[in-house]
Copies of this chain bind each other. A is one copy, B any other.
Amino acid sequence: MGAVRARSGALRSRLAVLLALLATLACTAIAHAEDGYDLWLRYPPLDARQAPVLRAHAAELVAPASTPTQRALRDELLRGLGGLLGGAPALADAPRRDGALVVGTPASSPVVAGLGLDLADLGEEGYLIRSVRIGGHRATVVAANDDIGALYGAFHFLRLAQTGAPLDALDLREAPRLALRVLNHWDNLDRYVERGYAGQSIWDWHRLPDWRDPRYTDYARANASIGINGTVLNNVNANAQVLTPMYLEKVAALADVMRPYGIRVYLSARFSAPIEIGGLATADPLDPAVQRWWKDKADEIYRTIPDFGGFLVKANSEGQPGPQDYGRSHADGANLLADALAPHGGVVMWRAFVYSEEEPDDRHKQAYNEFVPHDGAFRDNVMVQVKNGAIDFQPREPFHPLFGAMPRTPLMMEFQITKEYLGFSTHLAYLGALYEEVLDADTHVQGAGSTVARVLDGSLHGHALTGMAGVANIGSDRNWSGSHFDQANWYAYGRLAWDPGARARDIAADWVRMTFSTAPAFVAPVVDMMMASHQAVVDYMTPLGLHHLMGRGHHYGPAPWVEGGPRADWTSVYYHRATAEGIGFDRTATGSDAVAQYAPAVAEVFGDVTRVPEDFLLWFHHVPWDYRTQSGRPLWDELVHRYTRGVDAVRGMRATWDGLASYVDAARHAQVATFLGIQEKEAQWWRDASIAYFQTFSGRPLPEGYAAPAQTLEYYQALEFPHAPGDTR
């Protein structure tokens, strides 16, 4: 601190400013290193340019606190504004000066009621944010029909403040386009997380219900801030024990924590639970005793959790029990549970990720074949939950042919946020770009503009029950998601579940500003890097429509050579079909004809090697090595080019990030930099191993200027990773 000189009158105010500033600086220095725990809700002090703007719009806070949700809302605003401004605004019953922030519903707040706002079309979860005058004072009002809408609105206001958005002349109206915006935790009861790369499950079942980890509240806050309103607590590969009284008591404790934040809990239900914990001899959905058991179980659940959301079910898939074990259909199975839940308002989310015991000619076609015949046979409170693509969360897939193909059934999107097939948590891959590509995809089932997003939001086929599920990337790691940038995927998922038409780039920009810095010289290159990162992963792992080439079981690293084992569609060679002549899976009429599952306008494009987007070339076509690609290069050369381009892109990300150290705290910068180093090393490994392997088929030399693989194919094939995280078990 330099010398301070002051005299008489102005002393007090100068001192106050100085003290606040010093306190802030000191805290920044002494407080714990930024470790990512605070996610995008960090609320660091705004800079000298932004602080006065916010202060002028948050001079005082008028917000009721009579309900748990209202208290959560007010606490968040006090925390957020307090952090951003270096001190929380004063609380007031009504605006007494310019710059009040007024939050509430007509029922909770006389001030809001007095404004006579038009809230009719906002529903229960929507809100508006508007610059108004109240009693002659400038004010900002955040108004909604329900407490939860007001909470969402408060988070939106905080986002505007955090990102340095203008706060004058606001006139925003927001309501979610999807009703259910749900996280799926693939968390086992022993805290192991299947496909989890961020530590253990955050659900500490053993110490529940007594110990309610404060982390649960922070989880709820983070989710509410992006509009997520449901969470399925346990793995779809479910253990029936979660439905026993001992566990339901624990589930109820979690529901209590979530409730003020508008988040309902759901459970994955094991279809054979009536046998395993019910003592019945069968789980046949048409058996009256089974039906009785599920009804009783639902009644029991709702006695302790009145707002329980419902069941998620993985049935007759990868060894899970299901209705087909009794010769019944998926509809029979789903309706069994739906009938039990219906009196309480619960829903069934029935997964379409199925494949039969027998190997199909093309796994791509299985879900469509099994589900389309049952369109219209499901109860009103059943949704069919469909993965974004027909195979399994590959770095890039064409949209699932089920979207648009079941007009009488509400379809729910299942995205994977955890990066099972995208390098785990050390690879920087912004999935907003992936989600956007799928949501924007046009099914053409009702002509152009029949996007997947419009299937989901019900507008295409007139459904009110709508939703999106994201397989969570959340674990006990201090930074929640295993890496700082993987938080962006959780964030983007939530924002797109709220509005499937939102732009991934805008979302990334918001996230970067809230998570790291609002400095334009930082935001622009980082957003560019994020937006390009998805393509980079596709390029160095599975370019040109290749897919499912990861290590067997754990899915870590390249293994295009995987063959043999229990079923062909769990191998790599099944999918790439490389021969001396060419490579790719012929899914046209000359092959498996999976393209016929798409609407004709789509099928024509995908099925035509000259029209298919090159990103899906080898997904739908088996193509000779010398096939001339759009770049003019022969296919082999193009393949090598794309693998190499992917590695180069990661190298570019490293350079970008290394140049931005001055904008980020040392701890987070170092971790991201280290992880980018790992990503570059592994991208190179992917490229080299893949090229070494496919070259044994193409028999061609690498094009001029492209480096040979660093090691022999045998070296790559000998690598083993028996303890890679997240494998099924």
Task: List the interface of chain A (C-beta within 8 A of B).
Answer: 1, 3-6, 11-12, 15-16, 18-19, 22-27, 30-33, 37, 83, 188-191, 199-200, 205-207, 210-211, 214, 241, 424, 426, 476-478, 667, 671, 674-675, 677-678, 681, 722-725
**Complex Cα spacing A33 to B38, Å:** 12
Query: Which B residues are in CB contact (< 8 Å) with A671?
Result: 211
Say whether, besides A211-B671, A674-B210, A190 and B725 are in contact (CB < 8 Å): yes
A307 CB to nearest chain B CB (Å): 25
Known: A23-B27, A211-B674. 12 other contacts (CB 8 A): A4-B15, A6-B11, A23-B25, A24-B26, A191-B725, A207-B426, A210-B677, A211-B426, A211-B675, A214-B667, A241-B722, A241-B723
Of the candidates B15, B191, B678, which one forms a contact with A211 in the assembled complex, judged by CB atoms under 8 Å apart? B678
Give every chain B residue within 8 A of A24 (Cβ-Cβ). 26
Alpha-carbon gap, A37 to B32, bound state (A): 10
| Contact A30 B27, CB 8 Å, known A200-B200, A210-B678 | yes
Cβ of A189 and Cβ of B30 under 8 Å apart? no
Judge whether A723 and B206 touch: CB under 8 Å.
Answer: yes
Q: Which of B1, B11, B677 contacts A16 (CB 8 A)?
A: B1
Give 4 closest A-B pairs by Cβ, nearest first.
Answer: A23-B26, A31-B31, A189-B723, A27-B27
| Docked pose: A384 CA to B658 CA in angstroms | 51
Q: With CB as the reference atom, state the residue of chain B lying closest to A23.
A: B26
CB neighbours of A33 from chain B (8 A): 214
Q: What B residues does A22 contact at CB under 8 A? A: 19, 22-23
**Closest B-chain residue to A191, C-beta based?**
B725
Residues of chain B lying within 8 A (CB to CB) of residue A724: 206
In the docked arrangement, what's the CA distance between A1 and B22, Å? 14
Chain B positions within 8 Å of A723 at CB level: 188-190, 205-206, 241
Bound-state Cα–Cα, A476 to B3, Å? 46
Sample (24) of A-B pairs whose CB atoms are under 8 Å apart: A3-B12, A5-B11, A23-B23, A23-B30, A24-B26, A26-B26, A26-B27, A30-B83, A31-B31, A31-B32, A32-B37, A33-B214, A188-B723, A199-B476, A200-B200, A206-B424, A207-B426, A210-B678, A210-B681, A211-B675, A211-B678, A241-B723, A476-B476, A476-B477
Give Cα A102–Cα B18 distance, bound, in whole angstroms: 36
Q: In the complex, what distance in Å separates the CA atom of A681 from the CA atom of B678? A: 48
Q: Which chain B residue has the least Cβ–Cβ distance from A37?
A: B32
Instruction: Report Cα–Cα, A424/B205, bound state, in Å.
Output: 14
Known: A4-B11, A19-B18, A24-B26. A678 touches B725 (CB 8 A): no
**Contact residues in B for A25 (Cβ distance below 8 Å):** 23
* Identical copies in the complex: 2
Contact of A19 among B1, B11, B27, B725 (CB under 8 A): B1
> Which residue of chain B is the closest to A35 with respect to CB atoms?
B214
The smallest C-beta distance from A557 to any residue of chain B, in angstroms, reads 11
Residues of the B chain whose Cβ atoms lie less than 8 Å from the Cβ of A189: 722-723
**What's the nearest-Cβ distance from chain B to residue A141, in Å?**
29
- How far does the alpha carbon of A24 sit from the alpha carbon of B30 in the complex, in Å? 9
Interchain nearest-CB distance for A170 vs B (Å): 28
Give the Cβ gap from A692 to chain B, nearest Cβ, in Å. Answer: 20
User: CA A199 – CA B12 in complex, angstroms?
Assistant: 50
Smallest CB separation, A502 vs chain B (Å): 31
Instruction: For the complex, give the distance between the alpha carbons of A343 and B32 in Å.
Output: 44
A279 to chain B minimum Cβ distance, whole angstroms, is 13
Residue pair A207, B678 in contact (C-beta under 8 Å): yes
Contacts of A206 in B (CB 8 A): 424, 723-725
Q: Which partner residue on chain B sits nearest A18 by CB separation?
A: B19
Across the interface, which residues of B come within 8 angstroms of A675, CB to CB? Answer: 211
Closest to A675 in B: B211
Give Cα A678–Cα B253 distance, bound, in whole angstroms: 15
Contacts of A205 in B (CB 8 A): 723
Q: From A189, A205, A725, name the one whose CB has the most chain B CB atoms within 10 angstroms.
A: A725
Chain B residue contacts of A11, Cβ below 8 A? 4-6
Within the complex, the shortest CB–CB distance from A547 to chain B, in Å, comes to 24
Question: Which B residue's beta carbon lies closest to that of A482?
Answer: B207
Give the distance in Å from the alpha carbon of A724 to the alpha carbon of B83 in the complex: 40
Q: How far is the CA of A675 from the CA of B16 in the complex (A)?
A: 42
Q: Would you call B31 and A200 a contact (CB within 8 A)?
A: no
Residues in B whose Cβ lies below 8 Å from that of A426: 207, 211
Residues of B within 8 A of A725 (CB): 190-191, 206
Bound form: Cα–Cα A22–B17 in Å: 12
Q: What is the CB-to-nearest-CB distance from A76 to chain B, in angstroms, rounded to a whole number?
A: 16
Nearest CB of chain B from residue A554's CB, rounded to whole Å: 10
Report the minimal beta-carbon distance from A200 to chain B, rounded to whole angstroms.
Answer: 5
User: In the complex, what's the smallest C-beta–C-beta distance from A473 to chain B, in angstroms?
Assistant: 15
Instruction: Give the distance in Å from the alpha carbon of A31 to the alpha carbon of B37 in the complex.
Output: 13
- CA gap between A11 and B366 in the complex, in Å: 80
Knowing A4-B11, A199-B476, the reply to whether A27 touches B31 (Cβ < 8 A) is yes
* A19 cross-chain contacts in B, Cβ below 8 A: 1, 18-19, 22
Task: Report A478 CB to chain B, min CB distance, Å.
Answer: 7
A23 to B37, CA, bound (A): 23
Q: Name the CB-closest residue of B to A43.
A: B30
CA distance A424 to B206 in the complex (A): 10
- In the complex, which residues of chain B have a beta carbon less than 8 angstroms from the beta carbon of A5? 11
- Contact status A476-B200, CB under 8 Å: yes
Q: Complex formed: what's the CA distance from A188 to B677 in Å?
A: 26
**Distance (Å) between the CB of A211 and the closest chain B CB?**
5
